[in-house]
Homo-oligomer: A and B are copies of this chain.
Amino acid sequence: MDKIKIGLFGFGKTGRIVAQEIMQDKRVDFAWVVRRSKSSNHKYASRLLGYEHDATPIFSADRTGEDFFKSHPVDIIIDFSGPLGYKSYEGAPRLGIKIISAISKLEQPAIDVLKSYSEHSAVLYSPNITLGVNFLLVASQVLQSIAPKADIEIIEEHFRDKRGVSGTALKIANILGLENTRHVNSVRVGGIVGRHEVIFGLPNQTIRLVHESISRGAFGQGALFAAKWLYDKPPGFYSMEGIISDMFKQNIPVY
């Protein structure tokens, strides 16, 4: 099987951890990283990630015109840069390069641009690209359909300084038709990385779906999972929830 050639936009706090995950995946050829900062003395992502060899060159964002993607072709761009990063790879989809955007808070105009890209190539957008959270989203909806009378409550726990209600909890509440202010309980204590629990209460039994984050590496693994899925897909606009939903359908055991 051919290796998937991947380029990464973004090399900040999350970007680096994602890069680490991409570098360790043997099914992937990690072609390059594009970052905003010009000041890096290092030319190779491998060095900045603690490896003792040169691999995966780093380029500055201001050098990525259309020619860049021709001279440095990849199968898929993974974007963990920022809300405006999508502008930097405007030329790529027309060359058949697929896009995975995992920017957490994208404005609607940016999403619309991504959708326009999807006329030329497969584009996946997911504000939370972890496998587990998307499983929670889909499984919760299925359980709600099966047990429509169940009472549902969400508990989300995060570190003390996290502001506002978790976007993931809001999304789960929204998709289940729950009123946020009444049914999402936010716990802010100490250093909890992230925990989401969806509780389904029936008169004689309780079902709990729980997702616990250990580290940001989950984003990298989610992106790689998405990349392998997206690899042979036709142009179109996809989401991680859609993939999981799709796999639900394919993998449901038949009796």
Residues of A at under 8 Å CB distance from B?
Answer: 130-132, 135-136, 138-139, 141-143, 145-147, 150-153, 155, 157, 159-160, 175, 185-193, 199-218, 221, 239, 241-242, 244-245, 247-255
The 8 Å CB contact of A130, one of B145, B201, B205, B210, is: B205
Report Cα–Cα, A122/B221, bound state, in Å. 45
Among A147, A150, A210, A214, residue most surrounded by chain B Cβ atoms (within 10 Å): A214
Check if B155 sits within 8 Å of A185, measured CB to CB: yes
Return the chain B residue nearest A209 by Cβ: B209
Check if B221 sits within 8 Å of A199, measured CB to CB: no
A interface, over-half SS: mixed
Report Cα–Cα, A199/B188, bound state, in Å. 10
Report Cα–Cα, A152/B215, bound state, in Å. 19
Check if B141 sits within 8 Å of A139, measured CB to CB: no
Check if B245 sits within 8 Å of A253, measured CB to CB: yes
Can you show 7 pairs from A to B with CB atoms below 8 A apart?
A: A130-B205, A141-B251, A175-B253, A191-B202, A203-B217, A205-B212, A208-B210
Check if A191 sits within 8 Å of B216, measured CB to CB: no
> When A185-B185, A255-B241 are in contact, do A150 and B190 touch as well, CB less than 8 Å?
yes
Which B residues are CB-close (under 8 A) to A247? Answer: 142, 145-146
9 interchain residue pairs of minimum CB distance: A189-B201, A190-B201, A145-B251, A151-B189, A204-B218, A204-B217, A185-B185, A208-B210, A242-B255
Report Cα–Cα, A213/B212, bound state, in Å. 13
The 8 Å CB contact of A203, one of B146, B150, B208, B221, is: B221
A206 to chain B, nearest CB (A): 4
Report Cα–Cα, A11/B139, bound state, in Å. 36
Extra A-B contacts (18), CB below 8 Å, given A139-B142, A191-B214: A132-B207, A139-B139, A151-B188, A153-B189, A157-B199, A185-B185, A189-B199, A190-B205, A190-B206, A193-B214, A203-B217, A207-B209, A208-B208, A208-B210, A208-B211, A210-B210, A241-B255, A249-B252
